[in-house]
Amino acid sequence: MLANIKNMSFALEAMTPKEVIALAQAKDVKMVDLKFCDLHGAWQHFTVPVNQLSEELFSDGLGFDGSSIRGWKGIEASDMLVIPDPTTAWMDPFTELATLSLLCDIEDPITREPYERSPRGVARKAEQYLLGSGIADTAFFGPEAEFFIFDDVRYGSSVNESFYHVDSAEGAWNTGREEYPNLAYKIRAKEGYLPTPPADKGMDIRNEMVAVMQELGLEVEAQHHEVSTGGQAEIDLKYDKLLRMADMMCVYKYVVRNVAHRRGKTATFMPKPLFGDNGSGMHTHQSLWKSGKPLMAGEGYANLSQNGLYYIGGLLKHAPALCALTNPTSNSYKRLAPGFEAPVMLAYSARNRSAICRIPTYSSSPKAIRVEYRCPDPSANPYLAFSALLMAGLDGIENKIDPGEAMDKNLYDLPPEIASNVARVPSSLSGALQALRADHEFLLKGDVFSADFIKNYIEIKQAEHDAIRLRPHPYEFNMYFDV
């Protein structure tokens, strides 16, 4: 058994506590890193010596101060427990000492109930709700996360100034820069999709990211340059179950950032870091299965089943509220603008990338029939975004929500009199939060999201919106200083 354990890595094998301990011994592990996800989708962690790794750790957990985590407990009730999940063990490739990483759930130390504001706990409850619904037993998610790799990033904000500066050797703005020598091969704005080196200067760094992901057990389907100039990239993972895919997206971001850092670069999942060019999305493919059979496939439009159409109906109905979770930053809405391949109209179509819901037609196999929801961006917390999308789709099936007729045309080119009748996503984070306030009952089913979670989340995100709203924007000086 030990020989097999030596080759185990995250997402390949589900290990027991005993097997995790055996893995630590086989790898001569010195430290154990306990990672968990906060409300915003960022990993938090603390590290213990390997002699603390015992079977009891997986049942009793370790205590920490929850009041220091954004959006969690107040200082008057701050004691919390991290409970390592043995099925998530992996060797961290970025530490000097041999370090075993474990993803953790969060519990109340007194009641031992899962903490309702823990994103990973929300995803667990979403999968449990799906199973209890009887509709399906498995939800597969396949996100296509995009990101930027920059050579230099500087920013600052104070009472009397605000600025940002990002740079990339392949950026179109650097055609005239003295680079001793400047060898050109810059990528023009909106022309970065699939160029080859030397214009594509990120080939090697993306290959290294893929190699590390594969080493950790993530199944990568492809990597390539994306549309924007300035180092935009995409690495696609093969679909997996909701909770597992959310875990893998956290690992994915960790790998992308750390590989970039050790190569002297920096990576960001900020949706719109550049003006006038495409932003980064996270198109999310979804399908439901039961007893090993796909439920989205049928004889309807684009080979969809009736439940597949109802699932789309749920996504379209709840899309404005979903935006608060799938597009959770003020910067998200700088991407959600016509002309930059980010869908803003609430419609569905086969093949059509201007629709918010697309049914890919690469294959007619029933197993390949799925819904691609194109609105999300990679600033989303994957546990919350995937759970909310599932709950919206299930609400569509449970209430037989008709999505209406498909729109097989470029929605960006619709005549104004027609376009004005097509509903759109909110144009700001504030609008998305207003939609979530008015429409969140579908998220409360099965206590997947609690009322406390929704209230707390809206308050936190409204504070973010206000922080941007109250500050002068540098471009306002261009427009208004001499009025």
74-130 confidence digits (pLDDT tens): 655 678 999 999 999 999 999 999 999 999 999 988 888 889 999 999 999 999 999
Q: Is 278 annotated as a binding residue?
A: yes
pTM of the model: 0.95
pLDDT tens readout for residues 41-58: 999 999 999 999 999 999
Phi and psi of 176, rounded to 5°? -105, 10
> Distance between CA 479 and CA 451 in Å, rounded?
43
pLDDT at 353: 73
Task: Tell how strand 282-290 and strand 371-373 pair up.
Answer: antiparallel
Domains along the chain with CATH numbers: 2-115 (3.10.20.70), 138-480 (3.30.590.10)
End-to-end CA distance of the chain: 76
- Please check whether residue 392 is in contact with residue 440, taking contact to mean a CB–CB distance below 8 angstroms: no
Q: Is 283 annotated as a binding residue?
A: yes
Name the DSSP letter for residue 52.
G
pLDDT tens readout for residues 375-406: 999 999 999 999 999 999 999 999 999 999 99
Q: Is 285 annotated as a binding residue?
A: yes
Q: Which residues are catalytic?
A: 65, 144, 146, 226, 234, 283, 353, 372, 374
Task: Provide the 3-class DSSP secondary structure of residue 273.
Answer: coil
pLDDT tens readout for residues 333-359: 999 987 677 788 899 999 777 789 999
Phi and psi of 480, rounded to 5°? -125, -5
Q: Is 144 annotated as a binding residue?
A: yes
CA separation, residue 452 to residues 90, 111, 115, 116 (Å): 33, 17, 11, 8
Closest CA to 234 of 247, 245, 225, 243: 225
296 has pLDDT over 70: yes
Closest CA to 383 of 212, 137, 141: 141
- Please check whether residue 386 is in contact with residue 120, taking contact to mean a CB–CB distance below 8 angstroms: no
Q: Is 56 annotated as a binding residue?
A: no
Closest CA to 470 of 165, 164, 166, 162: 162
Bridge partners, residue 343, by sequence: none
Any residues with CB less than 8 A from the CB of 85 and at least 6 apart, and which? 102, 103, 104, 105
